[in-house]
Amino acid sequence: QVQLVESGGGWVQAGGSLRLTCAASGRTFGTSLAWFRQAPGKERVFVAAISWSGTITHYANPVKGRFTISRDSAKTTVYLQMNSLKPEDTAVYYCAVDLSKFFTNERARDPGEYENWGQGTQVTVSS
């Protein structure tokens, strides 16, 4: 099994920054990792994804240019650096793992492709 634990959420004013961390344990070799978010009363939506190698990334348009996803494959840890935060970024952020060895942008955006999810970490951005 793969277990995911997110951390790094918190409260920040608009324009500020946060770094989220997702630590994965278990049989993670060959997996892709991603971040999703869910605002109150809204559906869970894709934020960013990264391939096993760490060389391929994909971002949702609203966060492109502001967020950066990275991965430490040796330690099975993925990060989400969030800069220039906006109130609309307020949500619970979840990390997820895709056990497939393949990575495409289309697969990465689909929450149905992910087998395991973390518990989520709250990010609140005030104006």
Task: Give pLDDT, residue 73.
Answer: 66
Task: Answer whether residue 74 shows pLDDT above 90.
Answer: no
Kindly indicate the confidence band of residue 72, based on its pLDDT and cuts at 50, 70 and 90. Answer: confident
Kindly indicate the confidence band of residue 75, based on its pLDDT and cuts at 50, 70 and 90. Answer: low
Exposure pattern of 54-85 as b/e (b: 16+ CB <10 Å)? eeebbbbeebeeebbbebebeebbbbbebeeb
Report the 10 Å Cβ neighbour count for 99: 15
